[in-house]
Amino acid sequence: MREQLQFVVENSDYVKINNTKLEHFIDELENPNYQHWYKSIDLNLNEKEKIILAFIIESINFCFWQKPKFQIEYKGNHLKGSEALFYAIIKEVESNKDFLNINILQQLTKENFKKIFYSPNSEISLFDLRYKLFKDTVNIIYKKGQNFFVELFNKKTDMDLLNYIVSEFKYFDDSSVYKGKKIKFYKRATLLVNDLYYMSATIHNNLKNVDNLMGCADYGIPRTLRTYGVLEYNGELSYIVDNEIELNHDSNMEIEIRANMLYVLELIKEKLNNKGIKINSVELDNIIWQMGTKRNHQNPYHHTITIFY
């Protein structure tokens, strides 16, 4: 996958990497302190329920930039966007002990699904599309029966598991064609493999690590990298992004933003490893994402309607 990213970087018309700013950015990185989100949640679930939870969440975890942002209250915290989606589902799991039963999920109506995301202040965007992908995910798991878990538990590397998810659940196949070359991003599939690694003891033991995964190409990380001057957009792309004009999915502009962002993460990871700081791409992605949430003044992010991030 790195070769594909390098092809985009070397042929980009709209985006370039500022290597001087990259060195300065690395100096500002906080000490890596990664913790997977599930460790902060107190749920009494068995291993198969954890796996189903991960698949449900990542099947509908996309496109949260539209305004007004989806938001909920959870235990006194005001949550927005993807975090609100996560905890809306967590709230349902906490209140309904049978929710993660695949037979119950398979019969869940659109009306009852919508109740999970009820908020007096906002509505979740692209609801019909999220429900469709939720149903597709549940139906595939339901039809496979116990073979589903056998297949998952037979995967021995992170890349084997990633490729299984992309091939069996087609809407995780996040790839684009750029100047005649296929570019694989697999953002949500990457998140799902990482979830499964931390949430399933069997998968964790089988995979041993998730060090071969790339970062997660979305809109938040490129914004932060651009704010720090690491990514530079040309005049045409800057105008589109800064004026919040929608950028088409699979356009060269969008592909260049995502590919250059991932390539930067790989460069940073290498430089940190050379300094004796061992970190994988998903952990690094999370650290930079956290940096972005703490920065008050940032450039706008690019706006693309997509199911892939």
Hey, where are the domains in the chain? Answer: 2-294
How far apart are alpha carbons 41 and 149 in whole angstroms?
Answer: 23
Q: Tell me the pLDDT band of 31, cut-offs 50, 70 and 90.
A: low
pLDDT digits (tens, 9 = 90+) for 274-305: 989 999 999 999 999 888 887 777 889 999 99
What's the average model confidence in pLDDT over 161-168? Answer: 98
Q: What percent of the chain has pLDDT over 90?
A: 87
pLDDT greater than 70 at residue 32: no
pLDDT at 67 over 90: no
Give buried/exposed letters for 251-269 (b at 16+ CB in 10 A, else e): ebbbbbbbbbbbbbbbbbb
User: How confident is the model over 182-206, as a mean pLDDT?
Assistant: 98
- β-bridge pairing 175-178 and 77-80: unpaired
Could you identify the residue written with the tokens 């189903």?
Answer: 52
Tell whether the model's pLDDT for residue 163 goes beyond 70: yes
Structure tokens that stand for 32 in this block: 């890596």
The pLDDT, as a whole number, for residue 268 is 96
**Cα 249 from Cα 246, distance rounded (Å):** 9
Mean pLDDT confidence for 222-238: 97
Q: Is the pLDDT of residue 125 over 80?
A: yes
**Parallel, antiparallel, or unpaired for β 175-178 and 181-184?**
antiparallel
Q: How confident is the model at residue 145 (pLDDT cuts 50, 70, 90)?
A: very high
| pLDDT at position 269 | 95
pLDDT score, position 286:
92
Task: Give the lowest-confidence range in 23-37, 38-52, 165-179, 209-223.
Answer: 23-37
Give the number of other CB atoms < 10 A from CB of residue 92. 17
**Whether the predicted pLDDT of 28 surpasses 90:** no
Cα–Cα distance between 273 and 255 in angstroms, integer? 27
* Average pLDDT value over all residues in the chain: 95
Give the pLDDT confidence of 97-124 residue by residue, as tens digits: 999 999 999 999 999 999 999 998 889 9
pTM of the model: 0.94
23 is written with which tokens? 């060195």
pLDDT, position 291: 86
Residue 82, pLDDT above cutoff 90: yes
Q: Is the pLDDT of residue 212 over 80?
A: yes
How much is the pLDDT for 34? 82
